[in-house]
């Protein structure tokens, strides 16, 4: 490893599994002190224990990212333990049930926006408060090809992730002269456990969504997202700002 994040403190939400867990382990191996957040504390503790056992520093904070008080407590815990925050990765998220708007429930809409969008806004706002006085800081949002294209999920997830894309670009523009960088990754089909969050699949919506499945390359890995994330949060990407980077094997080229 090259210690590209030496001296940095990184908060990663959804760090208990999948892409978040891989980012946490890779960032720690690159020198970062990692604050992992997840609503599933058992999974999160497993990831953090592996980091600590490898001789690196990490902290587990049980967090409901849709709850502002939890986000505020997460930042307070990070500063109490490590003194600062330098990097924020908004990774936590859920799927919808592939429903088109004609089948959409208010609950599914509100749940998707609470976890996929509101959480990003809450954490980004807290991070900006920390970063602006120091004129430095990096935020990386995990959006989705569902946030750049219309047929990759149901309407709730698609709209929520489109909002993350807009939030990313606006925040990057607003603070580009203040030393802050804000980018997003748009993963394609990645092998994670996110389908656990699906409560009941719309057969019509799934059928429509599957029209483009045959164009998807082989399923990607969480490690592929983690290595892209490492570049974007490191100084190697110092001139990358406001970018929405597809990591999808080329799925969105068509």
- The pLDDT score that the predictor gives to residue 214 is 74
Please tell me whether residue 50 adopts helix, strand or coil conformation.
Answer: helix
pLDDT tier at 141 (50, 70, 90 boundaries)?
very high
In a domain, 83, yes or no: yes
In a domain, 127, yes or no: yes
Domain that holds residue 26: 9-249
Instruction: State the catalytic residues.
Output: 157
- In the sheet where 87-90 sits, what is the strand order? 58-62, 33-38, 9-13, 87-90, 137-142, 180-187, 244-247
Q: Give the total number of structural domains in the chain.
A: 1
φ/ψ of residue 166, rounded to 5: -65, -40
State the average pLDDT over residues 136-150: 94
CATH number at residue 42: 3.40.50.720
- Given a cut of 80, whether residue 209 has pLDDT beyond it is no
Residue 187: count of CB within 10 angstroms of its CB? 28
- Given a cut of 90, whether residue 217 has pLDDT beyond it is no
Please give the Cα distance from 9 to 34 (Å, whole number). Answer: 6
Please give the Cα distance from 102 to 104 (Å, whole number). Answer: 6
φ/ψ of residue 190, rounded to 5: -120, 140
Please give the Cα distance from 248 to 254 (Å, whole number). Answer: 12
Mean pLDDT of the chain: 93
Per-residue b or e along 115-141, where b marks 16 or more CB atoms closer than 10 Å to that residue's CB: bbbbbbbbbbebbbebbeeeeebbbbb
| CA dist list (Å): 82 to 64, 79, 94, 104, 150 | 21, 5, 29, 43, 41
DSSP states of 220-247 as a string? B-HHHHHHHHHHHHSGGGTT--S-EEEE
Please give the Cα distance from 216 to 201 (Å, whole number). Answer: 20
- The pLDDT score that the predictor gives to residue 64 is 98
| Sign, Cα dihedral of 234, 238, 242, 243 | negative
State the average pLDDT over residues 24-44: 98
In a domain, 4, yes or no: no
- The pLDDT score that the predictor gives to residue 254 is 80
In a domain, 3, yes or no: no
Q: What percent of the chain has pLDDT over 70?
A: 96
Identify the helix (H) or strand (E) that includes residue 35. strand 33-38
Please tell me whether residue 104 adopts helix, strand or coil conformation.
Answer: coil
Q: Which of 40, 27, 33, 26 is nearest to 59 (CA)?
A: 33
In a domain, 2, yes or no: no
Please give the Cα distance from 55 to 110 (Å, whole number). Answer: 41
pLDDT tier at 147 (50, 70, 90 boundaries)?
very high
In a domain, 62, yes or no: yes
Please tell me whether residue 27 adopts helix, strand or coil conformation.
Answer: helix
In a domain, 34, yes or no: yes
pTM listed for this prediction: 0.94
- The pLDDT score that the predictor gives to residue 225 is 96
In a domain, 209, yes or no: yes
């Amino acid at each position: 490893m090259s210690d590209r994040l030496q001296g940095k403190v990184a908060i990663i939400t959804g760090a208990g599994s999948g892409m978040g867990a891989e980012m946490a382990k890779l960032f720690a191996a690159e020198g970062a002190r990692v604050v992992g957040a997840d609503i599933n504390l058992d999974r999160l503790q497993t990831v953090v224990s592996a980091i600590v056992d490898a001789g690196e520093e990490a902290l587990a904070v049980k967090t409901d990212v849709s709850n502002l008080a939890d986000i505020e407590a997460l930042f307070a815990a990070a500063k109490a333990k490590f003194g600062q925050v330098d990097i924020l990765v908004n990774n936590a998220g859920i799927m919808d049930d592939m429903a088109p708007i004609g089948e959409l429930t208010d609950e599914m809409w509100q749940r998707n926006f609470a976890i996929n969008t509101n959480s990003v806004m809450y954490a980004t706002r807290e991070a900006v408060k920390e970063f602006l006085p120091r004129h430095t800081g990096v935020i990386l949002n995990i959006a989705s090809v569902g946030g750049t294209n219309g047929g990759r999920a149901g309407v709730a997830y698609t709209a929520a992730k489109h909002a993350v894309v807009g939030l990313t670009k606006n925040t990057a523009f607003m603070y580009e002269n203040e030393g802050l960088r804000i980018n997003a990754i748009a993963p394609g089909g990645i092998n994670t456990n996110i389908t656990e969050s699906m409560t009941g699949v719309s057969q019509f919506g799934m059928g429509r969504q599957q029209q483009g499945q045959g164009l998807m390359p082989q399923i990607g890995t969480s490690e592929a997202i983690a290595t892209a994330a490492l570049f974007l949060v490191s100084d190697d990407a110092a001139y990358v700002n406001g970018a929405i980077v597809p990591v999808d094997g080329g799925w969105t080229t068509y």
